[in-house]
Structure 1
Amino acid sequence: MKKVILLLIAVLCYSNLQAQISKGSIALTGTLAYSYSTYEDRDASTFQKVKNYELGPSVGIFIKDNLEVGANFNFGRERISNDRLSLGPPYTSDDRYRTFSYNAYAKQYLFLLDKIALHAVLSVGYNKTVTQFNSIYTGTSAIPSRSNESDSRYFSAGVSPGITCFISPKFALNLNLGLLGFSKTTYDSKNVELLNGVINFQDDYTSKSNSFNFDFSSATLNYGLTYYLGRQ
């Protein structure tokens, strides 16, 4: 048994020496997503449309063997429209979400086998989300229309472990397994209520929070596909 364990360690060490991503290689990763869905409740005469798209390019360069540094950006848009024609006054709402984020990161790889490596990612980033919400009761002037605009700014720093699996010499699937980090959030919200075109109520709200995150649940799992330019 002892000989088997020593042999396994030797194989892993040999694989680690042979398999690597060389200095000067470039890692290109990207996400592109679009979705469109509709919902209809004929009994309540309720209709909903949801549109969403997201774009997230990432570029990294290896400053030494198996050590990647880089940056990634993410842009997202979502729009949710609702119309209700019965069960109360006719009602329409329009919700819009815009997100933007960027992160600087360092990623260290440790090869266990020729095509499988553990990795750890140290990242520092910024995220900004703008939300606009409008609701209008079109069949009556007795119920005020409401609008809300909020701005959330999120700073974070953390470490995330994961696994990289090469499906070819230049393409790899990445699985990140969790997050250990710190975040700071500032949230600003402005609510306006209109009755017959006149401001009936107005409220401004600001909050700030700090949090420490230790989360390795399945909700933090995420996947990616990376192309390694210059890897042999």
Structure 2
Amino acid sequence: MKTFYLTSLLLTLGIASIAQTEKGTININGQFGSNSGGQHSNISNGLIKSFSIELNPNVGFFVKDNWEVGAGVLFGMTRGRMSGYYTKSISNSFGIQSYSKYYIGKKSVRPYVTLEAERIWLSEKTKFVNGNTQGYTSASWNAGGGAGVAWFVTPKIGLFSQLTYNRDLERQIKYSTGTLNLNFGVQVNLGKKK
């Protein structure tokens, strides 16, 4: 009897993974994570401590089997301080994102690669140790890519985790910065577009 249940479970998971990534399938997904969150950096005149978190709801469509394209919005916040320089830095971000994922294999747990592009609007306010406060806003384009793994738990639900590297393509200045992002998420299969 145990063999029957185990075989049934494996068959169900196999069907779930195929149904989730078939051409024409639509899904909604959301991910949350940290963009280099909790980093501690030594600077010549102090120690930077910061924490970042991001929430990212999306809608995806499979243009071919295993190939998903989608778009969504980003909401993020960063809180930081630097001893000897500023006591508090608060930044909030909002953005729009497009992405493409390609899943490898047909099992219930499968790796994928992803590419993404984002337009981010940032608002930041910093309070310095001398009591002064300074704020600014900016907008930039980001692009990046990475890899992840998805686990299709049922025909309707999938869990995933991905590690990406995004680079700021800021045009006003001559340098750009990059972030390493670890995100976790859930996707819900809405079925095929008719």
Q: Is contact 1:173-1:226 (8 Å) kept? A: yes
RMSD: 3.4
72 and 228 in structure 1: CA distance in 2 versus 1, 3 angstrom threshold: same
Q: Which has the higher contact order (CA 8 A, sep 6+)?
A: 2
1:178-197 pair list within 5 angstroms: 178-179=164-165, 182-185=167-170
Q: Is contact 1:152-1:186 (8 Å) kept? A: no
Following the alignment from structure 2 to structure 1, what is the Cα–Cα distance between the partners of residues 126 and 158? 40
**Superposition deviation, residue 19 in structure 1:** 2.8
133 and 71 in structure 1: CA distance in 2 versus 1, 3 angstrom threshold: same
178 and 79 in structure 1: CA distance in 2 versus 1, 3 angstrom threshold: closer
Residues 175-197 of structure 1: CA deviation (Å, up to 9, x unaligned): 11343x6431367xxxxxxxxxx
Return the match for 1:222 from 180, 183, 192: 183
1:121-200 pair list within 5 angstroms: 121-134=114-127, 145-179=131-165, 182-185=167-170
Taking structure 1 as the reference length, the TM-score comes to: 0.54
Following the alignment from structure 2 to structure 1, what is the Cα–Cα distance between the partners of residues 142 and 121? 12
Following the alignment from structure 2 to structure 1, what is the Cα–Cα distance between the partners of residues 60 and 76? 21
Return the match for 1:106 from 94, 100, 105: 100
1:45-60 pair list within 5 angstroms: 55-60=55-60
Letter in 1 for 2:91: Y
Residues 98-139 of structure 1: CA deviation (Å, up to 9, x unaligned): 2112211111112252x1222111111122221123469xxx
Gaps of 5+ in 1: 1-14, 34-51, 81-92, 137-143, 188-206
Following the alignment from structure 2 to structure 1, what is the Cα–Cα distance between the partners of residues 164 and 55? 22
27 and 98 in structure 1: CA distance in 2 versus 1, 3 angstrom threshold: same
Between the two proteins, the alignment pairs up a number of residues equal to: 153
Taking structure 2 as the reference length, the TM-score comes to: 0.63
